[in-house]
Structure 1
């Protein structure tokens, strides 16, 4: 990234420069704190070797020079000269003119509806376990769509845990390292029946919630039982467009979720159905009618409108135009971002067998592995 025309501003408290044709400003303290030199960052692991208190509070930039893709700065009172890569500066620039609308998502996130059915991201077990590039494509699809399918997996119990270990670790819960999804007598969860299930995110009563779920098919000879996925981020987009107040209520007030289905297990959480970051980024969706507890954090004057927004949110989730429906075959599985994509199933007959297994994992491992693959240049 070409660096040019550096100019000190505010008496050296900041510098203004051009990166690839765009003008940006950076504060001296920010630049000093984020220096990449070996005295500031460990060459081995990249961790910071200094604290904020090691940086003089009156730090200023005394001199700024640009040469090709490098910005060179001299900081006072330390008298140190530190170089900055233009590409790194461009990736971490924070001088933006316009605030983003609440509910925004990063560029790598693609919202979708039922039309994704013709473009479902799919990779085979053989490919992802022998070709790191194929694994990267699958993980990138999860980041982009919050959902992906894998075919030709072994139908041995526990294989889905091996899938999770391709990029991270299994999140063990009170349901076990993995859990069986098939009809049971007196189940401790409605998932273990042949009833249809409304689209939902799993375990919203946990804090933190498992951020990934894998569901793998070992047997499926029943009538019905089709799997359904819905992009919660696209649903939020529709809700916000038609009912801004409802969006504000569901994102501005906490819902409560609870689970009491097993002896000795009492799980509780307090989080909004639509979660936004401090800068308005759409971070997560939590929706699970079975686990919703009494809402006690909404003011009396807002409760009627809150419930109207909740009801409309549910209607949009149930809209067939939002659904991608498919029937898993033995040896097939799918993964969902459990903070974004809701999943459901249709009811199925009492004859035949439908045996799925599920497990949880987390996005930190997936994103870490994906970033490493990208840095290797395999997805260019």
Structure 2
């Protein structure tokens, strides 16, 4: 396909237009100059910038532009010449997130086999892509040992340590210091919103479960936010604009953080939900503002607890849930024990190491975002 480039008139030669078929893209001269793919501008090995971009002339302009279909040749007013491979200016869409919002009608839960994900890169990649798409994945065949999850954790990166250590026990005990250690049901929540940064992924490994109750509850927070935005836009707006606080204090820790229950990126896309009734401490805002906030929070709570949005899997010994703590709300039904102990082990893994492993495996396999979107 023919490619056409020109310096756009009336822009003081600071903009370049590139046309391929019916697609047109505009580039700023400084944006092009600071990305010039030569050894003077970018380190050939690392791709990191060698020049100080902020020191380039603010009035830098283009003095020449040509394209032979394979490369775009540019000259700049500072005398620099650059040759861009055409595809560098016409890249595939960025390797962004592909989120499939779901409700209780989800027929097949994303799943993985522990041994296969541990031994095979393609199985690990499939597990991580499922985790990214749905916000959770159920892993089977996890060794029934206290640190059974660790070999797979180490395939991704370090375990996130907290004031409770590395992997913590979740089981009913006398004189419980946290409600997770009782037999009561737990409302849908995200973990540790009082931390900064908030842990990215929860790994919950079952060693033994209750004979009655103790089912996990899973709700897609992004789906709940989507429905709130559709059905009650005023409530949605309130929860994205009101910053609430979360607090956890015991003899050895004092943790506080804040943020909205529904967090948006600059483009208005939902990127995180926070909800933790046990630790939320809304500031003493003006009563009129609190009135609006309480109504909005109630509307959101009605969605995240709605049966039509909730999955209720029960973990068997040797099964594990990996959950996106920025998206998924999890809880459990109350349980009774006639014998034995309901014993789960829980750890956290950060988002950056998880995303890095997923994207590296995707690149090594030559998987494009386009192909993933087609399979969605």
Q: Structure 1 length as normaliser, TM-score?
A: 0.91
Q: Which deviations, in whole Å up to 9, do the C-alpha atoms of 1:111-159 show, x marking residues without a partner?
A: 111122x221111011111110110011111111111111111111112
Q: Which residue does the alignment assign to 1:121?
A: 110
CA distance in 2, matches of 1:235, 1:69: 47
CA shift for structure 1 position 51? 1.5
Aligned residues: 364
Q: Which residue does the alignment assign to 1:78?
A: 79
Quick one: structure 1 residues 216 and 20, their matched pair in 2 at CA, closer, same or farther if it must change by over 3 Å?
farther
Quick one: structure 1 residues 327 and 69, their matched pair in 2 at CA, closer, same or farther if it must change by over 3 Å?
farther
Contact 2:143/2:318 (8 A) holds in 1:
yes
Counterpart among 272, 286, 295 of residue 274 in structure 2: 286
Runs ≥4 residues deviating over 3 A: 87-93
* Superposition map of 1:47-86 within 5 A: 47-86=48-87
Q: Which deviations, in whole Å up to 9, do the C-alpha atoms of 1:236-295 show, x marking residues without a partner?
A: 0011111111111110010111111x2131111111111112222212100010111133
CA distance in 2, matches of 1:113, 1:280: 22
Counterpart among 283, 294, 303 of residue 290 in structure 2: 303
CA distance in 1, matches of 2:282, 2:257: 12
Aligned-residue CA RMSD in angstroms? 1.9
Farther-moved stretch of structure 1 (343-352 vs 73-82): 73-82
CA distance in 1, matches of 2:149, 2:86: 42
Q: Structure 2 length as normaliser, TM-score?
A: 0.92
Secondary structure of 2:329's match? strand
Quick one: structure 1 residues 274 and 281, their matched pair in 2 at CA, closer, same or farther if it must change by over 3 Å?
same
CA shift for structure 1 position 178? 0.9
CA distance in 1, matches of 2:362, 2:33: 28
Contact 2:118/2:151 (8 A) holds in 1:
no
CA shift for structure 1 position 56? 2.5
Farther-moved stretch of structure 1 (222-231 vs 36-45): 36-45
CA distance in 1, matches of 2:294, 2:179: 24
CA distance in 2, matches of 1:322, 1:63: 57
* Superposition map of 1:10-89 within 5 A: 10-19=11-20, 21-87=22-88, 89=90
Residue 109 in structure 1 maps to residue 99 in structure 2: yes
Unpaired stretches in structure 2, ≥5 consecutive residues: 369-376
Secondary structure of 1:198's match? strand
Q: Which residue does the alignment assign to 2:354?
A: 366
Contact 1:110/1:145 (8 A) holds in 2:
yes
Q: Which residue does the alignment assign to 1:198?
A: 187
Counterpart among 249, 256, 264 of residue 268 in structure 1: 256
Contact 1:225/1:327 (8 A) holds in 2:
yes
CA distance in 1, matches of 2:237, 2:124: 38
CA shift for structure 1 position 45? 2.0
CA shift for structure 1 position 87? 4.8
Q: Which residue does the alignment assign to 1:189?
A: 178
Unpaired stretches in structure 1, ≥5 consecutive residues: 94-105
CA distance in 1, matches of 2:254, 2:21: 55
CA distance in 2, matches of 1:58, 1:156: 64
Q: Which residue does the alignment assign to 2:265?
A: 277
Contact 1:5/1:66 (8 A) holds in 2:
yes
Contact 2:4/2:20 (8 A) holds in 1:
no
Q: Which residue does the alignment assign to 1:97?
A: none
CA distance in 2, matches of 1:186, 1:348: 17
Counterpart among 318, 324, 327 of residue 337 in structure 1: 324
Contact 1:3/1:71 (8 A) holds in 2:
no
Contact 1:136/1:379 (8 A) holds in 2:
no
CA distance in 1, matches of 2:306, 2:114: 32
Q: Which deviations, in whole Å up to 9, do the C-alpha atoms of 1:143-190 show, x marking residues without a partner?
A: 111111111111111122332222122110001111001001111110
Secondary structure of 1:141's match? helix
